[in-house]
Amino acid sequence: DSGVTQTPKHLITATGQRVTLRCSPRSGDLSVYWYQQSLDQGLQFLIQYYNGEERAKGNILERFSAQQFPDLHSELNLSSLELGDSALYFCASSPQDSGTDTQYFGPGTRLTVL
């Protein structure tokens, strides 16, 4: 158990819909990262928040957005969903904001878009 929690575990929805994925980092960790993992693309970095502020952006689509709240939990919002958005979405947390910090991954949310 990494200490990072993600909800829901599974999500099935239709194209065009909007969903929100939730992540609670390990106690004391200030950074939260979101990743997308699909079979053909591997693990892709989407976005990072550090202590409530956006810190780094990766391959995140404009239809996707995220935020980190004062209690440090984070939400990833996916809108106008397409079939290709079906993937595993992971959240990870780390104590600070260094690239060499260990990132602790949550169990993931499996999103299926029908």
Chain residues binding other proteins by CB under 8 A are: 2, 4, 31, 33, 35, 42-45, 48, 50, 55-56, 58, 90, 92, 97-100, 102-108
Residue 44 or 79: which CB sits closer to other proteins?
44
Residue 37 or 79: which CB sits closer to other proteins?
37
Q: How far is the CB of 20 from other proteins (least distance, A)?
A: 19
Query: Using H for helix, E for strand and C for coil, what is the string for 40-96?
Result: CCEEEEEEEEECCEEEEECCCCCCEEEEECCCCCEEEEECCCCHHHCEEEEEEEECC
Residue 40 or 62: which CB sits closer to other proteins?
40
Instruction: Name 110's bridge partners.
Output: 10, 88
Q: How far is the CB of 15 from other proteins (least distance, A)?
A: 25
Residue 8 or 16: which CB sits closer to other proteins?
8
Residue 48: is it exposed, middle or buried by C-beta count within 10 angstroms (0-12/13-18/19+)? buried
3-state secondary structure of 39: coil
Q: How far is the CB of 6 from other proteins (least distance, A)?
A: 8
